[in-house]
Amino acid sequence: MHFEYPSFLYTLVLIPILIIFFIFAWKNRISTLEKFASPSAVVRLTSNLSNRKRILKIILIISGMFFLIISIVGPQVGGKLVEIKRTGVDIIIAIDCSTSMLAKDMKPDRMTKAKESLYLLINKMKNDRIGIIAFAGVAFLQCPLTLDYSAAKMLLSNIDTNLIPKPGTAIGDAIRLAIKSFSQKERKYKSLILLTDGEDHKSDPLGAAILAKKEGVRIYTVGIGKPEGELIPVYDKTGKLIEYKKNKKGEVVSSKLDELLLQKIALETGGKYYRATESDIELDKIYEDISSMEKKELKSTTYVKYENRYQIFALISILLLLADMVISERKGVYIPWKK
């Protein structure tokens, strides 16, 4: 037997409590009578009462409560095998975690904004597999393709600008790693969402985009930041701002959003480019576009569909409790609706 709400089984503890209550009530009734009447008087007062019927009524009440609890727990028996097919696409999200993502032209900063947007995107997903790539000077597969969205969000939370020690922004490496992370047997059902400020450091992102197109990967790019640029803060170990990033000449540098590069990458693969906004409307549009793509069968699950049988136990409980109401403690036959 299978139960739909097994957590309610703990209420069965009420049965022994009920038994103890009736035992206590029985003894208390006898002791009360003995206090106010002589033994001979007690015998006369209770001569028309049947102890057997009293015990029977107690058994009926306890049994009725037992079956009532069982019906609430939701007993399920029998059943049949049901197959469910899940269809969707494979989506890899590549998130820039270079130090330039600390710039504050997105609130509270580019890195935090990108992660918050991705949390919202994952929450929208239903049957699509998701993978996560973190990249700076090199790219790293943070989360392989999975249907476990909770695990993906947990791994996403671990991404920050200290995750990859090698400085730089290797967009091309992130794209090539994404290509390898997709199934190599197919040339469709693949989407890559790239969140970055677009400042690449000689990783040949356009060459990687051409390769992605050959492999059937559609790339959507989301520009994090603003074209006019923003200073990159530098913090100490306590999180206190100590200065702004400088180049080798000691000059303060700013990080500018390279929209032209991101547009070219998206255009090359048949995807689209969006600039990040506070409302995250761009991710809604991207997911709508991805959802319209041809889908593949990602997983076929067979499970047993149980049949509810709580009605039987509820009926037994009602009959037992009704029987308790009909049966009198008096000796002989007693009909409650006749005086």
| pLDDT tens-place string over residues 152-209 | 999 999 999 989 989 889 999 999 999 999 988 877 779 999 999 888 878 999 999 9
pTM (2 decimals)?
A: 0.63
> How much is the pLDDT for 327?
82
d(C-alpha 126, C-alpha 61), whole Å:
48
User: Does residue 41 register a pLDDT over 70?
Assistant: no
Candidates 123, 121, 118; CA nearest to 142 is 118
User: Does residue 83 register a pLDDT over 70?
Assistant: no
pLDDT, tens digit, for every residue of 147-165?
A: 899 999 999 999 999 899 8
**Taking the alpha carbons of 303, 308, 313, 316 in that order, is the dihedral positive or negative?**
negative
pLDDT, tens digit, for every residue of 312-322?
A: 889 999 999 89
The mean pLDDT value of the chain amounts to 85
Higher-scoring residue by pLDDT: 332, 127: 127
- How far is residue 260 from each of residues 89, 221, 257, 265, 266, measured CA to CA in Å? 28, 11, 9, 9, 10
User: Does residue 10 register a pLDDT over 90?
Assistant: no
Least trusted range by pLDDT, from 50-59, 146-155, 198-207, 290-299: 290-299
> How much is the pLDDT for 339?
47
Candidates 120, 159, 114; CA nearest to 285 is 120
d(C-alpha 16, C-alpha 18), whole Å:
5
Edge-to-edge order in the sheet of strand 75-88: 2-3, 75-88, 296-308
User: Does residue 67 register a pLDDT over 60?
Assistant: yes
Q: Which of 76-79's residues contact partners 24+ apart within 8 Å by CB, and which partners? A: 76/1, 76/2, 76/3, 76/4, 76/306, 76/307, 76/308, 76/309, 77/1, 77/2, 77/306, 77/307, 77/309, 78/306, 78/307, 79/2, 79/304, 79/305, 79/306, 79/307
pLDDT above 90 covers a percentage of the chain that reads 41
Considering the domain 85-299 in this protein, what is its CATH number? 3.40.50.410
Q: What is the mean pLDDT of residues 93-116?
A: 92
Strands 233-235, 230-231: parallel, antiparallel or unpaired by DSSP?
Answer: unpaired
Residues paired with residue 81 on neighbouring β-strands, in sequence order: 304
CB 178 within 8 A of CB 195: no
Q: What residues does each domain of the chain span?
A: 2-74+309-326, 85-299
d(C-alpha 125, C-alpha 123), whole Å:
6
